[in-house]
Amino acid sequence: MARNPLTREEVMETAASLVQQQGPRALTMRKLAAELGTAVTSIYWHIGNREQLLDALVERTIQEMGAIRPTGRTPHARIVSVGRALRTALRERPQLIAMVHERGLTERMFLPAQQALVHEAHAAGLRGELAAEAVRAVQFQVVGFVLVERNRERSPAQHPSEGELWDSPTAGHDPALARALAGPVDAEQLFLVSLEALVTSLLAVAAGDT
């Protein structure tokens, strides 16, 4: 029970921990009020409605992430490092992904990496629209991958549907392929392979190589 006057900060704090522990669906105004020891309606006075609360939480989490610092020598390595760091940062905050998911705020997840990517794209010799395209390609790639990855993890069931391919005409001739597709995904490796591929192509354009 909080006797001292309720604070916007206090509400945010409690809401954040609630989301962190049980996901955004569990963040109900009434539960939150109970946790805070106040009436439900007090929250409305300080924060507004549930949507605004979620928005504020998303913003807060993004702030906490801070900037992303590239590592490595070559432009290629540095851009890839930004992608990896962004994925790591997002995966460390599954609640963020879930909240962004629930509302339509994916582009918020782009922000932490954007400055760094712009800088690196420029350093790699990309200019103007081409640089913008490269920045966005990496952002879409990374965020998209993380969305798929998380969504996959959320799914409780095994993925037996992929087993269908075991006896598909093509896979039947290639047992190793069938086995690999039936098995679990090595997300880490898949992420790296895809990102490397993308960056390679983007930089090939910069080098004048078509």
Largest CA distance in the chain: 71
Q: Pick one of 6, 97, 113, 134: the residue that binds DNA (CB under 7 A).
A: 6
Can residue 63 be called a binding residue for DNA (CB under 7 A)?
A: no
Query: With contact defined as beta carbons under 8 Å apart, do 104 and 67 qualify?
Result: no
Residue 91 binds to a second copy (criterion: CB under 8 A): no
| Residue 46 binds a second copy, judged by CB under 8 A | no
What angle separates helix 75-91 from helix 187-206, to the nearest 10 degrees?
A: 140
Residue in 35, 38, 6, 39 with CA at minimum distance from that of residue 18? 35
> Which residue bears the tokens 């851009």?
79
Q: What angle do CA 5, 10, 11 make, to 5 degrees?
A: 100
Nearer to DNA, 27 or 116 (CB): 27
CA distances (Å), 201 to each of 76, 168, 198, 204, in order? 10, 32, 5, 5
Question: Do 56 and 64 form a contact (C-beta atoms < 8 A)?
Answer: no
Q: Of 20, 42, 81, 106, which one interacts with a second copy (CB under 8 A)?
A: 106
Structure tokens at 114: 């954007």
Taking CB under 7 A as the rule, does residue 49 contact DNA?
A: yes
37 or 144: whose CB is closer to a second copy?
144
- Binding to DNA by residue 58, rule CB under 7 A? no
Contacted by 44, from DNA, a second copy, none: CB < 5 to 8 Å by type: DNA
| C-alpha to C-alpha distance for 1 and 210, rounded to whole angstroms | 66
Nearest distance, CB of residue 61 and a second copy, angstroms: 14
Footprint (CB under 7 A) of DNA, residues 118-147:
none
Interacting residues toward a second copy by CB under 8 A? 100-101, 103-108, 110-111, 114-115, 118-119, 122, 127-129, 131-133, 135-137, 140-141, 143-149, 151-156, 159, 161-162, 164-165, 168-171, 173-174, 176-177, 180-181, 185, 189-190, 193-194, 196-198, 200-202
Interacting residues toward DNA by CB under 7 A? 5-6, 27-31, 38-42, 44-46, 49-51
